[in-house]
Amino acid sequence: MIAARPVGVSFGSRQVLADVSFDVPSGQFLCIIGPSGCGKTTLLRVLAGLIAPTSGEVTADGKAVRGPARSRAIVFQDYTKALLPWRTVAGNVALGLEACRVAEPQKSRRIEELLSKMGLGHCAGQYPAQLSGGMQQRVQIARALGQDPQLLLMDEPFGALDAITRQGLQDEVARIAAEQKTTVVFITHDLEEAIYLGDQVIVLAAAPGTGAGRIAERITVEIPRPRSQLETREDPRFLAYRHRLFGLLKH
Amino acid sequence: MRRVLPAVLFAAALIGLWQLAAELKLINPIFFPSPGRTFGELYMQVTSGRLWQPLGATALRMLYGWLLACGLGIALGAAIGSSRTAREYLEPLLDFLRPLPASAIIPVAILFLGLSPAMSTAVIAFGSLWPVLLAAVHGLKNTEPQLVELCETLEMRRSQVLAKVALPGALPDILSGVRVSLAIALILAVVTEMQASLPGLGQNILLAQRSFRSPELYAGIVVLGIMGFLVNNGLLLAERRLLRWRSAAV
């Protein structure tokens, strides 16, 4: 379980996050949504251990997070800067395994397994620049899964992709999270994506006055899984959630 | 083939002009031999085998100094580019040394090392160090911050980050620095030979000039030109192989 106990972050005199608390039970999918500049990415970095909170703390299974760790993998938004352009697809996936000191022959087996899980088997020998954005994002996810994370942190991973590619990847991430029972914290600025993927959705908004991000609303999404791009999005409950959160995202 | 044709034609035209200027004796033939005499001399040197020893001596001199510069430059660059402490200690000193003309330290090098090949290697290494070093520092400083964070979440050790992420990322910069260094190494190989009477193409050119054997002088310059051209293109070829991922776009 991941828990944020009133987390606050300030950069100098500027407060970026204030009083953010939540629990993510193991295996749960939490989506965090909010307008640009409300501190979503900062919050993700605090969860990763890349930034220490100014106040409060983040705990993973009861232990305070004091720095980055392999058990918490990140999938970055900008895939063009998150892959090693000089390594092939297989080589990029291998990086995570090398860091975890997985030796041959397990390493090759594991790479093959991860590539086929993400539908990348046919482009193992290609370089990232030869792939579409969606495929590059799959490589990042495969690499992240390679480090066997307890928590998968995803920072607007599909923000730069076209709608069709995005829906395909949403379903895959949902499937993999369910299969591996991985806890996921997923940041997005797409309300429908948040409801479609999340067990829980938290809306961050800038507080009037200070501008610091705080939790404006949280909902539990009670739509059973597996969900479907067509039916789930037409489900009255889906529409009701959308209706309820929509107003909070307007300025 | 069609791409090199204009360059070949232009070079041929220049040689033609040279021939013409020599025929018309626009300049005293003692200082200015015709291309015919120059290439004749070169041909003689090749067939008699007289060319190979000085050529080899100069090439090795250049190579040793250059390799030393590359090793030092990349190691120092890695230290400065990846550690703030190293940067604080080393950078000001290096900024002081960098603008020093390498030829100015030849007398110092001669005092310490004598008129020896070691002196020449030291001077070449000093002079050709800077392009590699600066390129390595620049390349390593510009390591993608997101990749650094990735390495942190993977709990990679500093040496692993350097070997697997930072250095390969800086390789394009380092390779162009390495190529500039090689050109400087060739210049300094010739200069040190002239200054310290070390055997090689540089010394031969100087001796030919002093005894007015101008075809030999020009032949020496032509050989140096060819040598510089070949090593540069060899490095470009190696660069293309090492960086083939860059041309692998869709």
Residue of A86, A93, A97, A140 to mutate, testing the B interface (most B Cβ within 10 Å of its Cβ): A86
Residue of B149, B151, B154 to mutate, testing the A interface (most A Cβ within 10 Å of its Cβ): B154
pLDDT at A76: 94
Cβ–Cβ gap A86/B168 under 8 Å? yes
| Chain B CB within 8 Å of residue A185 CB | no
- The helix (H) or strand (E) run that includes residue A31 is strand A29-33
pLDDT at A38: 87
- Alpha carbon of residue B55 to chain centroid: 15
Residue B105 has pLDDT above 60, yes or no: yes
pLDDT at B249: 63
Long-range contacts of A228-232 (CB under 8 A, 24+ apart): A229/A167, A229/A170, A229/A171, A229/A196, A232/A196
Residue % of chain B over a pLDDT of 70: 98
Segment B160-180 mean pLDDT: 93
pLDDT at B90: 87
Distance from CA of B165 to the nearest CA of A (A): 7
Per-residue pLDDT tens digits for B41-59: 999 998 998 889 999 999 9
Q: Is A216 exposed, middle or buried (0-12, 13-18, 19+ CB in 10 A)?
A: middle
Confidence of residue B1 (pLDDT cuts 50, 70, 90): low
Amino acid symbol at B171: L
Partner-chain residue, chosen from A85, A96, A129, that has the shortest CB–CB distance to B154: A96
Task: Divide the 251 residues of chain A into consecutive groups of 10 and give the mean pLDDT of each group.
Answer: 90 90 94 89 94 93 91 93 94 92 90 92 92 93 93 93 91 92 94 95 88 90 91 93 86 55
Partner-chain residue, chosen from B144, B151, B249, that has the shortest CB–CB distance to A129: B249
Residue B151 has pLDDT above 60, yes or no: yes
Partner-chain residue, chosen from B154, B164, B171, that has the shortest CB–CB distance to A147: B154
Residue A217: strand pairing partners? A203
ipTM entry: 0.89
Q: Is B182 helix (H, G, I), strand (E, B) or coil?
A: helix
Q: Which residues contact A128 (CB under 8 A, 6 or more apart)?
A: A79, A80, A83, A84, A85, A87, A89, A92, A136, A139
Distance from CA of A137 to the nearest CA of B (A): 15
The DSSP secondary-structure symbol of A190 reads -
Distance CA A185, CA A205 (A): 17
pLDDT at B2: 67
Per-residue pLDDT tens digits for B59-84: 999 999 999 999 999 999 988 887 88
Quick one: tokens of B246? 């860059």
| Residue with the two structure tokens 């650094």 | B148
Segment B196-204 mean pLDDT: 90
B interface with A, Cβ–Cβ < 8 A, is 144, 146-147, 149-156, 160, 164-165, 168-169, 171, 243, 245-246, 248-250
Q: Is B206 helix (H, G, I), strand (E, B) or coil?
A: helix
CA separation, residue B29 to residues B1, B23, B223 (Å): 36, 9, 21
φ and ψ of A61, to 5 deg: 50, 45
Distance CA A202, CA A33 (A): 6
Distance CA A197, CA A103 (A): 35
The structure's pTM equals 0.83
| Chain B CB within 8 Å of residue A78 CB | yes
Partner-chain residue, chosen from B146, B168, B250, that has the shortest CB–CB distance to A82: B146
Residue B87 has pLDDT above 60, yes or no: yes
| Chain B CB within 8 Å of residue A95 CB | yes
Q: Which residues contact B57 (CB under 8 A, 6 or more apart)?
A: B198, B199, B200, B201
| Residue with the two structure tokens 């002093």 | B210
| Chain B CB within 8 Å of residue A98 CB | yes
Segment B124-153 mean pLDDT: 93
| Chain B CB within 8 Å of residue A76 CB | yes
Ordered strands of the A14-24 beta sheet: A63-64, A55-60, A2-11, A14-24, A213-220, A200-206, A29-33, A183-188, A151-155, A72-75
Residue % of chain B over a pLDDT of 90: 60
Residue B3 has pLDDT above 60, yes or no: yes
Domain locations along chain B: 1-31, 33-249
Segment B208-222 mean pLDDT: 90
What fold characterizes domain B33-249?
MetI-like fold (1.10.3720)
Amino acid symbol at A177: A
Distance CA B105, CA B109 (A): 6
B148 contacts B161 by C-beta, under 8 angstroms: yes
